[in-house]
Structure formats: structure tokens, C-alpha cells
Amino acid sequence: MRRRLTLLVASITGLVLLAFLVPLAVLLRGVAADRAVVAATADVQALVPLVGTAAPDGLRLAAEQVGAAADRPVTVFLPDGTVLGDDAPRTDGVELAARGESLTVARDQGREILVAVQGRPDGTAVIRTFVPDEELTRGVYRSWLVLAGLGLALLLLGLAVADRLARSLTAPITELSTVSHRLAGAELTARATPSGPAELRAVANALNRLAARIQELLRDEREQLADLSHRLRTPLTSLRLESESLADPREAARITERVDAVERAVTGLIRQARRRGTETGTEPACDATAVVRERVAFWTVLAEDTGRAVELDLADRPLPVRLPADELAAVLDALLGNVFAHTPDGTGFAVALAPRPGGGALLTVTDSGPGLPAGLVGPAPAGVLERGASAAGSTGLGLDIARRAARDSGGRFELSAADGGGARVAVVLGPPLAATGTPSGVVPA
């Protein structure tokens, strides 16, 4: 924008200067030529009284003196054909002046000035002088250089003023862009300083109000989650007490474990919301191997109750990924919950976690159920990944949770058909930035 404003002012200034300087340059040339012609005419006018009265010898001497003083040729053509002064041809202009009409004739190398002198007994005499082009344009080129220098100075001055004006406009816009990017990067304390024109100040104030409103909404959300935690504490405590009162210790331990799982899930959501509202510049990470092992062990108990075979293929070393442990646990819970919800009892499933060459991990969940409907496979299947959309009567949040987690880690999410039937869900998890230096949102192929 700054460059465009400068070019616009430069173009307008240049056109204005051309509109004024070109006619002025032409006028200067015409004035210089007229001045030279007037000076030459005044010189030869001094000979008019002598031509009318003096003898040829005296007239010759006078013509030579005037020519020497004016530094230009002066010739007198008498009616009887005598030529006095500098030798010059008897041109058609001289013949026309001999009829009693003074005139100026343009020639190839200058102008011929002819003055008719009447009153001689033998007829009309003609005084001729010649003004060369050098004299007609004397001082013109120097004046043109002065005009060009003045025009260049005015153009540079206009560019300086335009640049300063453009800077006063673009600096607030650049600051607004910087603040908006900081807000997009979760730096909610960023604020713009209102400056520049009234319109830009209004935009800066609106952006500041928007940032403040976002902070208020996040603060309200965190408070609501805290209220949710408080409201769930009483029923969870009641469930725990009832489970402990069961006669069967195994059944009591199983229900207590489920209650603890619900409490951990709620606590994880609250911590996640508070962390996103307060942390800036920190990169969450966890060991995917440990998280997957712990969650698969939890779901294996349910799988045994429903007659499902479970296969687990884990890497033999820690796999750090750019995702908090509670979020990765929520991803696996959502994917395995879909398996239990949308496949009949007895349907087996497999969970695999493998390292990636560029860092991070590849998490796959495969089942041997009926598979996905036609058209719902690929990197971004239409409809099935839309938040809240479900073709099976569920909340439609499970796959969206996995997709968002993959995106936040810098990875991707894919659905495909498993070998031999069933569905295969692949979640590519990016490595922590501190380990690779990879820009956020980029996972090595």
C-alpha cells in the first residue's frame, strides 16, 4: 500500500509538472527567438535614415560599422543593384522587400530580417541582416535545465511528502495486522494503539473491544467448567460411596474405577480449557506410548465383557507427540467408544502406534465390523467429520475430537476401509517443536 500510494503521488505530480513545464519551455524558446529578432531589427533600424540620405561610400562604411557592432552580417541592397556591406545573395525575400514591405523570413540556419527603406529618388532600398539559430536559442537550453532541475526537485519533494503520508497510513495498519496475528496465536493480552486517521482509530478500538470480549468469554467458559466440576462432585461422590458398599469386591472395584475415569475426564477437560485460556508460548507434549497403553488397558476390560478380541501393537520406546496426555487419551477414548457403539458385540479391534521418520507417531484403530458407508473414506470425508453430524444417532463429536487433536498437533486425520472389511481410522500426530524445530502445523512426510 505504501508503494502504491507513493507511485500514485509520483504519477500525479509528474503529469502536473509536464502540463506546466512543457508549455513553459516552448514559451521560453519563443521569447528568446523574439528577443533576438527584435535586437537585430533595432540594429538595422539605425541605418534607415542613412540609407535614405547618405552617399554609397558613407553608407558602406556605416553598414560595416553596424555589422561589426552587432556581430552579425548587415547588407544594404540599393535600387540600382549595388550591394553594400557584407556580401549576401539577392533572395526572393529581398525582391519582395524591394516592393516596399519589411518582413522576416525563416531560413534553414536562422532568420533573415529585411527592412524596406523608401524615400530615395531612385526607388526602394533594402537593409538585410541574418540571425543564426545559435542566437535565436541563446540561453534557452540553460533555462530548460533550470526548469528540469526545478521539476525534479518538486517531484522529489512530492515523493517525500507522499512517503511520509503513506507511512502514517500504513504504520497503523501494520500494527493492526500484528495485533490480530498475536490474538490468533492465543496472545489475548495483545492490544492495538489507536493512531492514524479516524477510520483506523475506530478499527483499532473495535479490535481491542473484540480482544477484551474474547477474554471475557473464555473467562466465563472457564468459570462454567469450574461450576460443572463442582456440580458433578456430589453425584460422583455418591456413586463412589455406593460402589464401596457393594458386597462383591470385584464389582465394587470395577464401578469405582469407572467413577474415577469419569472424574479424570471431567478434570482433564477443565484443565484443558484453563490451559488454553491462560498459557501462551508453551508447547504441550506427552509420551504417546504410555498414554495409548494405559487407555487400551482400560478398554480391554470392557472388551472382555462384550466378547471382543483386542490386538495392541505398541512401539518399544517412548514416542513424544505435540499433544497433552489428556487430549490424546480423549482421542483414543472417542475412537474406541465409536467401535463399541457402532459395532455388534464380539467385533474385535486393533490399536497400533508406530513412530514416524520425521518424528511424532501414527495411531491407527482398526475394527472388523461392517465398515464405513460408501463415500465416507479419505483424508476429509464429507459430512462424517462435521462437528455434531452423525449418521448413527450419536452426538457426532467423536471423530471431530480426533480430527481437531490431529490438527492441533500438526498432523492429519484419515478414514479408510480396513483389509478384510471394517473401518480403519488413522491419526497422524506431530512431534514436539522443541525436538524438531518444525513450524507449527507442518508434519514431515
Per residue in 62-102, pLDDT (tens digit) is 887 887 887 888 888 888 888 888 888 888 888 888 888 88
Which CATH number applies to 284-436: 3.30.565.10, 3.40.50.10440, 1.10.3720.10, 3.40.50.300? 3.30.565.10
pLDDT level of residue 423 (50, 70, 90 thresholds): confident
Pair 117, 51: CB distance under 8 Å? yes
Pair 431, 411: CB distance under 8 Å? no
How far is the C-alpha of 96 from the C-alpha of 304, rounded, in Å?
130
Name, in order, each residue with C-beta under 8 angstroms of 290's C-beta and a sequence gap of 6 or more: 318, 325
pLDDT, residue 368, reads 86
Per residue in 38-69, pLDDT (tens digit) is 888 888 887 888 877 767 777 788 887 887 88
pLDDT for 301 beyond 70: yes
Of the two residues 195 and 224, the one the predictor is more confident about is: 195
Topology agreement, domain 188-282 and domain 284-436: no
How far is the C-alpha of 427 from the C-alpha of 364, rounded, in Å?
6
Per residue in 377-418, pLDDT (tens digit) is 545 444 444 444 444 444 456 688 888 888 888 888 988 888
- CATH fold of 2-140, please? Beta-Lactamase (3.30.450)
pLDDT for 188 beyond 50: yes
pLDDT, residue 48, reads 82
Percent of the chain with pLDDT over 70: 86
pTM for the predicted model, two decimal places: 0.47
Q: What is the CATH number of domain 188-282?
A: 1.10.287
Per residue in 328-365, pLDDT (tens digit) is 888 898 898 888 888 888 889 999 999 998 889 999 99
How far is the C-alpha of 148 from the C-alpha of 144, rounded, in Å?
6
**Domains in the chain: boundaries:** 2-140, 188-282, 284-436
pLDDT, residue 13, reads 84
**Count of Cβ atoms closer than 10 Å to residue 213 Cβ:** 10
Per residue in 255-297, pLDDT (tens digit) is 887 777 777 777 766 666 555 555 544 567 889 999 999 989 9
